[in-house]
Amino acid sequence: MPYIMKNVPPSFIVGIGGSAGGLEAYKALLEALPSDTGIAFVFVSHLLPNASSQLAHILSRTTEMPAMVAATGMGIWANHVYVIPPNADLFIEGSVFKVTSPRIKRNQQVDGFFTSLAEAMGKRAIGVILSGYNGDGTEGCKQIKANGGVTFAQDDSAEVNRMSLSAQLAGCVDFVLPPKKIADELVRLVNT
């Protein structure tokens, strides 16, 4: 019998940041996750401003959870996957998304989202930094840690390790693991 999705608030919200090389890491993470964790997953990827992103569609093929592009006012539900729209900044306000477009600065969307996630969810915020260039996500991880949340960075399995190394060097990462092990640890965290 297939799992039936219900719109209930998530026990945790996991923000997942990535850029170059991130797609394979995103898929590996989702493939290793059960579809009934009680968590909401939000993917914040660096996209070209004029991109016609198919990320939500691609991710929907790797999980039974519904995957969709986030929009202003959209509720955030457990066992759902959300994706940042192209040329936009994504935030959480209360229990819904806020999208502003065009984006304010290039390649700082992860920091912006993680900071709003930390403020909205406190100790129920989780940040994951996967493959990508530059240090986007490091400041956001610091905010998640300061608010009692948990942070992850991809290990040397990252195709491009600059984003994950930046967060690790800043001392704001709790776990350094490959994507499939991150999935295992997320399940363990929400069940303790």
Q: Which domain holds residue 174?
A: 12-190
Q: What is the pTM of this model?
A: 0.94
Residue 2 lies in a domain: no
Give me the active site residues, please: 19, 46, 136
Dmax (CA) of the chain = 46
- Cα–Cα distance measured from residue 74 to residue 170, given in angstroms and rounded to the nearest whole number: 33
Residue 141 lies in a domain: yes
Residue 175 lies in a domain: yes
CATH (domain of 167): 3.40.50.180
Tell me how many domains the chain contains: 1
Check whether 4 has a pLDDT greater than 60: no
- State which H helix or E strand residue 179 sits in: helix 179-190
Residue 103 lies in a domain: yes
Residue 138 lies in a domain: yes
71-83: pLDDT as tens digits: 999 999 999 999 9
61-89 as b/e: b if 16+ CB within 10 A:
ebbebebebbeeeeebbbbbbbbbbbebb
Check whether 156 has a pLDDT greater than 70: yes
Q: What is the pLDDT of residue 26?
A: 97
14-60: pLDDT as tens digits: 999 999 899 999 999 999 999 999 999 999 998 666 666 789 999 99
User: How large a percentage of the chain has pLDDT more than 90?
Assistant: 81
Q: What is the pLDDT of residue 2?
A: 45
pLDDT bracket for residue 3 (50, 70, 90): very low
CA dihedral 130, 88, 72, 17 (to 10 degrees): 10
